[in-house]
Amino acid sequence: MTEQPNATIRAGIGGWTYKPWRGTFYPDALAQKNELAYAAEKLATIEVNGTYYRTQQPATFARWAEAVPDGFAFSLKAPRYVVNRKRLDEAGEGIARFVNSGLSALGDRLGPILWQLPPTKTFQAEEFAAFLDLLPATVDGLALRHAVELRHDSFACADAVNLCREARVAIVYADSDDYPAIADPTADFVYARLQRGDNAIETGYSAAALAAWATRLSSWARGDLPKDLAYVGQGHVQSAGKDGQSRDVFAYFIREGKVRAPQAAMALQQRVAG
């Protein structure tokens, strides 16, 4: 975790259970039950994939919270039964079931909730607006932050960006060959998923790529808009390169180069701190 004026930058990974990390990240002798605590000592955040596949219990969330230090944050991937449906505007019951499944047991360790739409889901303005309206602002008195990963090219438009900005829901920036890259900030935080890693590189990304991402993350945190990324929204101040709002930043190394994802996250965290 790196503090900047009025903002925090966290770099992390997806999940903490991955067999190839044994011996490359986790010590060989480390008990599996201690992997989360070990990862949380080295990293500032983890994106939990398990919540996408099955409902967790409040006791599980509480146990996760106890295993990590102050300042650590979990982002939770929302369940597939919510996002993989024909009509997003009919997802209210599923959203409520997930949000009320015990998330509040994480307390101040709860970071953003990630709503990852399938690549086949196209932008339909009324349906998408209704879905955003269904996302609750709080649960058990705990404020919630929401991020949507829009993986169909039809979402790369001003209307989608403006709807997210009105709802104060962040659009995930995808550093990927497969999905649209939308850098417009639409909430009080930024969520980036970095998917171009290389297992052959000790730090996952090259030194030059890590330096570039450290510059972008720091820009977002202080309220600047990185000038080398693509913006699609209208009426924003990207031409000025600054919108004046400092933002917390969450950046995750996932997919390609996963074996080196922990090293990439630690290297990026060191760069934004330095």
Residues 100 and 165: their CA atoms lie apart, in Å, by: 25
Exposure on the CB side of residue 18, measured as CA atoms within 13 A = 21
Contact between 267 and 44 (Cβ < 8 Å): no
Angle, helices 261-273/35-42, rounded to nearest 10 degrees: 30
Q: Which class would CATH give 2-273?
A: alpha beta
pLDDT digits (tens, 9 = 90+) for 17-34: 999 999 999 999 999 999
Q: Distance of CA 18 to CAs 35, 55, 80, 223, Å?
A: 10, 20, 21, 35
Q: What is the mean pLDDT of the chain?
A: 93
Q: What tokens were used for 210?
A: 């890590």
Residues 219 and 238: their CA atoms lie apart, in Å, by: 12
For residue 47, pLDDT over 60 is answered with yes
Q: pLDDT value at position 230?
A: 85
pLDDT digits (tens, 9 = 90+) for 65-92: 999 999 999 999 999 999 999 999 999 9
Query: Any idea where the domains of the chain sit in the sequence?
Result: 2-273
Angle, helices 35-42/58-67, rounded to nearest 10 degrees: 50
DSSP per residue, 44-113? SEEEE-HHHHSPPPHHHHHHHHHHS-TT-EEEEEPPHHHHSSS-GGG-HHHHHHHHTSSGGGGGGGEEEE
Residues 14 and 89: their CA atoms lie apart, in Å, by: 28
Picking from 52-61, 154-163, 164-173, 229-238, which range would have the lowest pLDDT averaged per residue? 229-238
Residue 240 burial class via C-beta count within 10 angstroms: exposed 0-12, middle 13-18, buried 19 and up: exposed
Contact between 194 and 201 (Cβ < 8 Å): no
For residue 172, pLDDT over 90 is answered with yes
The amino acid sitting at 187 is A
Residues 146 and 132: their CA atoms lie apart, in Å, by: 9
DSSP per residue, 132-150? HHHS-SEETTEE--EEEE-
For residue 212, pLDDT over 60 is answered with yes
Mean per-residue pLDDT, 158-168:
96
Residues in the chain: 274
Picking from 106-110, 206-210, 222-226, which range would have the lowest pLDDT averaged per residue? 222-226
Q: pLDDT value at position 137?
A: 97
Residues 116 and 136: their CA atoms lie apart, in Å, by: 16
Of 132, 60, 58, 63, nearest to 95 by C-alpha is: 132
Contact between 204 and 264 (Cβ < 8 Å): yes
Q: pLDDT value at position 5?
A: 63
The pLDDT-based confidence of 270 (bands split at 50, 70, 90) is: very high
